């Protein structure tokens, strides 16, 4: 069985068009925010939690 993952995508309008939130992991390179959906948690809840944990963005709406 596959472990469900949540991948919140954060977009903003930049001067040259749409920009996507990415970060550079020291070992794995360019990454999107992502993580495992915990037992009893919805995908939306996991996405908001992972966004806060990995980027520091709090109060995101689903």
Residues 3-23 have pLDDT tens digits of 899 999 999 999 999 999 999
Residue 43 lies in a domain: yes
Neighbours of 51 (CB within 10 A): 23
Overall domain count for the chain: 1
Q: Would 61 be classed as within a structural domain?
A: no
Q: What is the arithmetic mean of pLDDT over 35-41?
A: 96
Mean predicted lDDT score pLDDT of the chain: 93
Q: Which helix (H) or strand (E) holds 44?
A: helix 43-55
Is residue 36 included in any domain, yes or no?
yes
Whole-number pLDDT of residue 2: 86
Is 32 inside any structural domain? yes
**CA dist., res. 57 & res. 43, Å (int):** 17
* pTM for the structure as a whole: 0.83
- How many Cβ atoms sit within 10 Å of the Cβ of residue 50? 20
Q: Is residue 23 part of a domain?
A: yes
Could you tell me the residue range of the domain that residue 38 belongs to?
A: 5-55
Q: Is position 51 within any domain?
A: yes
Residues 6+ apart with CB under 8 A from 41: 49
Does residue 60 sit within a domain?
A: no
Does residue 62 sit within a domain? no
């Amino acid at each position: 069985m596959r472990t469900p993952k949540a991948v919140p995508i954060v977009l903003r309008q930049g001067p040259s068009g749409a920009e996507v939130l990415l970060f550079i992991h020291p070992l794995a390179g360019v990454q999107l925010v992502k993580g495992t959906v915990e037992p009893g948690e919805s995908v939306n809840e996991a996405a908001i939690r992972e966004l806060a944990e990995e980027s520091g963005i709090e109060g995101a709406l689903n």
